[in-house]
Each structure stands twice: as C-alpha cells, then as structure tokens.
Structure 1
Amino acid sequence: MSEIDLVTGGAGFVGSHLVEALVASGRKVRVLDDLSTGRIDNLSAVKSDVDFIEGSILSEDDLMKASSGVDNVYHLAAVASVQKSMEQPLLSHKICATGTLKVLQAAKLNHCKKLVFAASSSAYGNTGNVPLDENTLLDPLSPYASSKLAGEFHAVAFARAMGLETVRLRFFNIFGPKQRGDSPYSGVIAIFTEMFKKGIAPTIFGDGLQARDFVFVHDAVQALILAGTKSEISGQVFNIGTGKSTSLLDLASHLQKLTGKNLAPQHLPARSGDVRYSLANITKAQQMLGFIPKFDVPSGLKFIL
C-alpha cells in the first residue's frame, strides 16, 4: 500500500507542481486548500488521483481530517506576498505563523512521520553578506518575513521537544508555469512575463539593480521531495536556490531577447520591505539532500513564454 502525503496549499503555484510530481512517483496524495489564492484548475492533470479537501489551515477540524493517516506533510499554505503583508500584517501572521503552528499540532496529534515546511529566504533581509548561508544573521524586513520565520521557530520546537520530524526549506524566488501574473502580489517574473506578453513595458520599483536568486519551480519541487524522503535531517534548515543572482534589469533584458520585444522598463520609487540583494549558498542542500538545480533563468523562462 502506497503511503499518503498531505500538501497544504496544494492547489497553488508550487503546491500543484509538487502534487503532480508526487502522484507521478506513485504516492497517494491529499490536498488541503481553501482556494483563496489557489485554483482547482491547477490540479486538472491529476484531479482523479488526488483526495482534495477544500478547507483552511486555520480550522483544526479541517486539519485533523486532512492529516489523518498521513505520513509526510508538505506545508506550503501561506500568504506569499511581502506587499500584502505590509497592507494586512495580522492576516500574514494568522496564516503563516498561527496557521503553521496549527498544522504542526495536527501532524503531531495524528502521528505523521515528517513535516516539510516551505520557509522563505526573506528571513535574511538585507544582511549585506552574500551568498547567504543558513547561519547568516536573520533580519526580517516585513510582516511576511517575520511571520514565516515564526513558523520556522515553531517547526524547530516541534522537532526538538514534541517528537515530530520537521525540515525547513528556505526558498529563494521561485518562478515557473502556473504562477499568476495578474496580481500585484505575484512574483516579479510572473508579472514581467505577463506584461511582455501583452506588449506593456514592465515596472521596476527602484533602480533595477536589486537582484534575486530565481529558482525554477521544478527545482523547488525536487528539493521538497528530497527533504521528504531523506532520513536523519530532522530540525535542519536548507537554502533552496541556484547560487546565481539576476538583477531586475537583467531579467527585463532576458525577456526582451526571448520575446523580441524591446520594452524598456519604467521606474517608480523603491518600496519599503523589499530586500536589495539575495543570493543563496546552497552547499548544505547539495551535500545533505543531494539537491542539484537544473534550470537557470533563461531556460526556465522558455516554459512560461
């Protein structure tokens, strides 16, 4: 009998890719998603193979039902937006911090084997020293970053004191198919790509020299599954990126070349809460998980243009 995996936020961008990969590997998969940002259409390719529960990680009843009989919990449900957290900090805390604690509690009560938490590189803030390794001083600059970090600390506590195996993956900027570009809260690559498709010049907040370590969603899924299957890594945290950074000006240049559209970015004042420069040191993930990123920005962009 195949084991059951629960994916919270499984109808979302990254979650739906993870669900597809787990199903393809022969696992039984259950999804808990309230569809506030996720879309059931994201699961159309595996709909008949997935036990879908429309519910919230804030509901203890929904969580107990969803985690019953589960081996691995992949916790991806979140309010995944710095800007939205600046506008609604209490909501960000409720979902990312309190919600994570509730997921951990349900996993413990239902005797799940392991919980893999999708953490965020935003925890590092503007520390100045790059590339960032897992021992870098944490300096959250937004309610999103601080609430995700609170979720991390809850995961550590459950690993150390509650007997639940937990692993944290600090994802850098994930991009790929199914990422929505029609919202101001979307990732910058999704927004830029959508604008280039429409022939609209992209908007850059600041000078455009701010840089990110963009990781393709298939590589993110690889890391999640490795974290779920590797043994003796409970309590550990891993950076998941590529070890290469791309500025927003370079991103616009890549899109110009791939689309053949010479759309010059329009600049607006920089936004508070945005990290200036982000680059992952992924040595630990390479050594302990066997994580090897396979996509760079240009090759990943070809999947979404």
Structure 2
Amino acid sequence: MIKELQMPSLQNSTILVTGGAGFIGSNLIEVLLENKASVVCLDNFSTGHRHNIEAYLEHKQFTLIEGDIRDLETCHKACSGVDFVLHQAALGSVPRSIEDPITSNDVNVSGFLNMLVAARDAKVKRFVYAASSSTYGDSEGLPKVEHVIGKPLSPYAITKYVNELYADIFNKTYGLNTIGLRYFNVFGRRQDPNGAYAAVIPLFVKQFMKHESPIINGDGSYSRDFTYIDNVLQMNLRAITTTNESALNEVYNTAVGDRTTLLELTQYLKTYLADLDAEIAHVEIKHGPNRIGDIPHSLASIEKAKEKLEYQPTHAIEEGIKEAVSWYWNNL
C-alpha cells in the first residue's frame, strides 16, 4: 500500500522514531527503511518489544538507542543529526492513566517536553507527534472536527491535549515546525494482544483463537472510528514530506471517517476468524459494565487531512480487519 503512494524520496533523510519498538513505531521503521531513509529508534522497552525491531538491528541504515524520553540527555543524543522526528513514545491507555496518573504524566508530558527541547536544540526540520482522539473529551458533536474539543475525561486525555499546547507554543516561541496526528483507535499487525491494557481488537482476536468469550464493555452500541495501521503510516509519511507550508503547525484527525459499533466489530472478527477455524463461529460473546472514561461514540472528520496533506485512507474497517486477522493467525 505505502509503496503505491506518490511520496517524495526519503533517501537522504535521517528520521528519529521514538517508541520505535512499539506497535505503530515499528511499523513506521519498516516503511521508512523501505523508502531508503536512515532511521534512529529510541525506546526503553517498557511497552515496546525487541522482537518488533529484531529484523532491522543489522540494517546499515538503522540505529537503536535504548533509553527513556524522561531523560533529557538521552533525548539530545537521539535528536543529534536528525532531520525529522516521529514521536510515538507514550504511555497509552485511559485505564492505565486512571490507575497511575503520575507516571502517565511523567512520560506523556515531561517526556514530550524533553523531546521538544531536544528537537529544538538539534534544529530538526519537523516534529510530528502522536496526538489522540481522547482530546475531544466530552464534546458530543459528530463527526469530530479538529477545532472543536470538549473537556478531557481522563488523565491520559489531559496529557495528550497538553502535548498539543506545548507543540503550538514551541512553534510560536522557537520556530519549531510541528504536526500533531490525532489517532483514532489504531489497529493492525504487531499490536500487542497481551497485558492488562491490551487494545480491544488484538485482545478479542486472541480470545477467539483460544475459544474464549470476549467481554464487550456495555451493550456493544458504543462506536469507534477504527483505523488500520496503513492509514496511520500514510499520515505520518505525508506529515514529514508535505511541501504545503499551510499544513504545518496544525493537528489532524488520523482516521477513516467511518464508525463501527463494538458489536459490529466483534462480529467482523468472529466471521473472519471462523473462516480459519470453524469452531470460533460458536464462541459466545459476553457483556460487562461500561468502562470509566470511555466516550460513547467517536467519528472523525478527515476533510482537513485530505485538503492539507492529500490524505486518502486505503483501508476501511473490513479490509483492515481481514489483514489484521491474517497477521495474528500467522504470528500468535
């Protein structure tokens, strides 16, 4: 998919991917190396996995720095000689932030500020960062448009909104060019199905494959703009290669522009997995209580990304689910 997009060459660029051993970060590293960029990966392996980047460790254009964004010296080292930063490092998960708001703030706010300072000092050309749809908070309007947000509903959401405020100030004060990508429920290959804070799609796939009943929070009517990883890769590439000056120092919804209920999602997973294991068709789906901090519905307007970044999503929910299911089937 990515190779088919008309993109300027990255051959002479050095790009830092923070959180590069994570789900999104490792996919970014793969596509950047395919496009002949030199890549620096910064990760402390707290949530990322070494096996995600194992294939690149001997690549002549790949450098791994094992370190923490909460350490300013490490951030300076990682940014040295870098043209672009793709900042993915963060502690995700609304429930995690509710249980431990201090650590989420340390990583997502203090770590983010360290990276901005290091990028400024290294005079990087552009700082592209993972923002979040959680920033929309209690805003009820659909679809979500970038300039209308509500009050955050979790410590995690607060940290991601603060990121946007800091990025804006660093542009206005220091001239650092930034682009924020508000990710909407990203899923796909390499997303970790294990751990207390596993995302819903890999978790449900793992449970179905074990013939265990997935538990939907609530009645299943909550809906999300589930966004396949290839769409996210495209947005990151467009953010670092755009020559449209008016596209800089903005935030963009990174999504498909369609929504799927949790019941519909679960049925997609069940159907495609049952093609591989007929027994899965008989696995019962259960329901539990709604989760604290969850918003009922999420749907992005992607008009701004289309207009300013020439973004065109290549994978709708069903195409993405098919590819993700195939990947998990062969790799779990």
TM-score range normalised by the length of the shorter chain: over 0.9
- Specify the alignment match of 1:300 in structure 2: 320
Per the TM alignment, residue 48 of structure 1 is displaced from its structure 2 partner at its CA by: 2.0
- Specify the alignment match of 2:310 in structure 1: 290
State TM-score, norm by structure 2.
0.90
- Specify the alignment match of 1:239 in structure 2: 253
Question: Matches of 2:259 and 2:51 in 1, distance apart?
Answer: 32
State TM-score, norm by structure 1.
0.97
Summarize deviations over 1:248-287 as a string: whole Å, max 9, x none.
Answer: 1001111121122232321111111011100000000011
- Specify the alignment match of 2:185 in structure 1: 173
Alignment length (residue pairs) = 305
Letter aligned with residue 253 of structure 2: N
- Specify the alignment match of 1:271 in structure 2: 291
2:122 counterpart of 1:110 = yes
SS at match of 1:270: coil
Question: Matches of 1:158 and 1:211 in 2, distance apart?
Answer: 35
- Specify the alignment match of 1:134 in structure 2: 146
Q: Please show how residues 1-305 of structure 1 align to structure 2 within 5 Å.
A: 2-49=12-59, 50-231=62-243, 232=245, 233-260=247-274, 261-262=280-281, 263-305=283-325
SS at match of 1:169: strand
Per the TM alignment, residue 234 of structure 1 is displaced from its structure 2 partner at its CA by: 2.2
Per the TM alignment, residue 47 of structure 1 is displaced from its structure 2 partner at its CA by: 2.2
Letter aligned with residue 25 of structure 2: G
Unaligned residue ranges in structure 1 (runs of 5+): none
Per the TM alignment, residue 126 of structure 1 is displaced from its structure 2 partner at its CA by: 3.1
- Which moves more between the two structures, 232-241 or 101-110? 232-241
Contact (CA 8 Å) 1:29, 1:51: kept in 2 or not?
yes
The alignment-based identity, stated in percent, is: 39
SS at match of 1:303: helix
Per the TM alignment, residue 304 of structure 1 is displaced from its structure 2 partner at its CA by: 2.7
SS at match of 1:91: helix
Letter aligned with residue 20 of structure 2: G
Contact (CA 8 Å) 2:138, 2:150: kept in 1 or not?
no
Q: Find runs of 4+ consecutive structure 1 residues off by over 6 angstroms.
A: none
SS at match of 2:63: strand
Per the TM alignment, residue 244 of structure 1 is displaced from its structure 2 partner at its CA by: 0.5
Per the TM alignment, residue 131 of structure 1 is displaced from its structure 2 partner at its CA by: 0.6
Unaligned residue ranges in structure 2 (runs of 5+): 1-10, 275-279, 326-332
Summarize deviations over 1:117-172 as a string: whole Å, max 9, x none.
Answer: 11000000231111101012232101011011111111111111111011111110
Question: Matches of 1:149 and 1:28 in 2, distance apart?
Answer: 30
Question: Matches of 1:46 and 1:96 in 2, distance apart?
Answer: 27
